[in-house]
Amino acid sequence: MKYAIDEQGYYGAFGGAYIPEMLYANIQALKERYKELIREDAFNQELDQLLHDYVGRPSPLYYAARLSTHYNTRIYLKREDLNHTGAHKINNTIGQILLAQKMGKRRIIAETGAGQHGVATATVCALMGLECKVYMGAKDILRQSPNVARMRLLGAEVIPVHSGSETLKDATNEAIRDWISHPETTHYIIGSVVGPDPYPDMVAHFQSVISKEIRVQLQQHTGSPLPTAVIACVGGGSNAAGAFHHFLDEASVQLIAVEAAGKGLDTGYTAATMAQGSPGLIHGSRTYLMQSPDGQITEPYSISAGLDYPGIGPLHAHLYVSKRASYLQATDDEALQAAYRLMRLEGIIPALETAHALAVLEKESFMPDDKVVLCLSGRGDKDLETYIKHKDDEQD
Ligand SMILES: *Cc1c(COP(=O)(O)O)cnc(C)c1O
């Protein structure tokens, strides 16, 4: 595995564990137990069973005939939108909750911005009967009230964070503070391939079920497990990491990640970390992030709350500098148009995050015989209001 993490927790120059000393023992114990458990048959069988019976895996790989005709190529959609709770995030929270249970943890904490990771965490805590506290910026609580209601219905306590800009990065600081105060009893579930080692590798491992299934399903569809290209949107980068994982060492497979350009790259309203960011430290790891000249993290913007993150996982920083994957951008408007197109051509309402990946089909051209796999990371029920509001701008 040329693109695998090394013993010190780095992908090339990126990653590591830049954490307060008080968490060192915790992180070390987590790393050791995680590495042991993923080698144990009993753990993997239990995980597979839950993925099958509770999440509904394998998710279909769907040949999108009308979308394919429209773009004159062959397009396959990996239907993570059909998972329980409507997105890929549950693949990770199911894995981590099982790990927490095996480590004897009784208390789960998480932070959330849009609320999607909070809901996926509250769901698995209810499933396992574990206490769940979700830190969330006070501003985000107001903006994302349906997800706050969902978390509370599922039995989680949502804790408003009033410090700083009252958004995701402040909620993250508060979650880390909580973990420092309760290291023995508590497991911290991080929602993407970000954070200190071992999180980026662990989350990528749990999400890698996506590309494991794609290989088998594409073999059935086409007689070969390898596509021409894999396309996925990136916020922190977990659905992309999962969709890329089993193709990283297959040089013939083009890997395309799509960031949210927001209102446009040079407008100051963007979440395009690779296009606008530079290396630095965020959330306990060395990676690319959007920062001011004096190193302050800048507030990201995107129409899609799930891509509204100022950093990106260290694996992606490595794939970017090593040129293994390309990082493209789509604006709010391009994403909206792509979403409306999918609705009309295929009868699927995608999440706004996913719509950014779909927007790339307008920019990249593929050959008629190419096989393009696109990770349909989530469903658009949560985004209905936005879609309705912008409907009059549809350009068809
Ligand atoms: C959270 C979310 C994303 C972005 O997170 P990644 O870690 O980059 O995958 C993408 N799509 C959907 C549907 C989401 O809920």
Q: What is the mean pLDDT of residues 98-103?
A: 97
Q: Is 351 in the pocket of ligand 1 (CB under 6 A)?
A: yes
Q: In a mutational test of the pocket of ligand 1, which residue from 81, 90, 116 has the highest number of ligand atoms less than 8 Å from its CB? A: 116
Amino acid 77 reads L
pLDDT at position 396: 56
Q: How confident is the model at residue 299 (pLDDT cuts 50, 70, 90)?
A: confident
Q: What is the mean pLDDT of residues 324-334?
A: 98
Q: Is residue 55 within 8 Å of 91, Cβ to Cβ?
A: yes
Q: What is the mean pLDDT of residues 335-354?
A: 98
Q: Is 230 exposed, middle or buried (0-12, 13-18, 19+ CB in 10 A)?
A: buried
Q: Is 306 in the pocket of ligand 1 (CB under 6 A)?
A: yes
Q: Is 313 in the pocket of ligand 1 (CB under 6 A)?
A: no
Q: In a mutational test of the pocket of ligand 1, which residue from 239, 259, 356 has the highest number of ligand atoms less than 8 Å from its CB? A: 239
pLDDT, tens digit, for every residue of 218-245?
999 999 999 999 999 999 999 999 999 9
> Which atom of ligand 1 is closest in space to residue 307's alpha carbon?
4
Q: What is the mean pLDDT of residues 29-45?
A: 97
pLDDT higher than 80, residue 394: no
Q: Is 87 in the pocket of ligand 1 (CB under 6 A)?
A: yes
pLDDT at position 395: 66
**Is 133 one of the annotated active-site residues of the chain?**
no
**Is 89 one of the annotated active-site residues of the chain?**
yes
pLDDT higher than 80, residue 148: yes
Q: Is 235 in the pocket of ligand 1 (CB under 6 A)?
A: yes
pLDDT higher than 80, residue 300: yes
pLDDT, tens digit, for every residue of 176-197?
999 999 999 999 999 999 999 9
In the chain, the domains with their CATH numbers are 18-50+89-196 (3.40.50.1100), 58-86+204-395 (3.40.50.1100)
Q: What is the mean pLDDT of residues 295-307?
A: 89
Q: Is 15 in the pocket of ligand 1 (CB under 6 A)?
A: no
pLDDT at position 309: 87
Q: What is the mean pLDDT of residues 278-288?
A: 96
Distance, in Å, from the CA atom of 108 to the CA atom of 295, rounded to the nearest integer, reads 31
pLDDT, tens digit, for every residue of 202-223?
999 999 999 999 999 999 999 9
Q: What is the mean pLDDT of residues 359-374?
A: 97
User: One of 31, 68, 78, 89 is an active-site residue; which one?
Assistant: 89
pLDDT at position 313: 98
User: One of 68, 334, 377, 382 is an active-site residue; which one?
Assistant: 377
Determine which residue's CA is closest to atom 14 belonging to ligand 1. Answer: 306
pLDDT at position 260: 97
Determine which residue's CA is closest to atom 4 belonging to ligand 1. Answer: 235
For residue 307, how far is its CA from the centre of ligand 1 (angstroms)? Answer: 7
**Is 285 one of the annotated active-site residues of the chain?**
no
Q: What is the mean pLDDT of residues 109-115?
A: 94
Weakest-pLDDT range from 43-57, 149-163, 210-224, 291-305? 291-305
Q: Is 112 in the pocket of ligand 1 (CB under 6 A)?
A: no
Q: What is the mean pLDDT of residues 87-109?
A: 98
pLDDT at position 179: 95
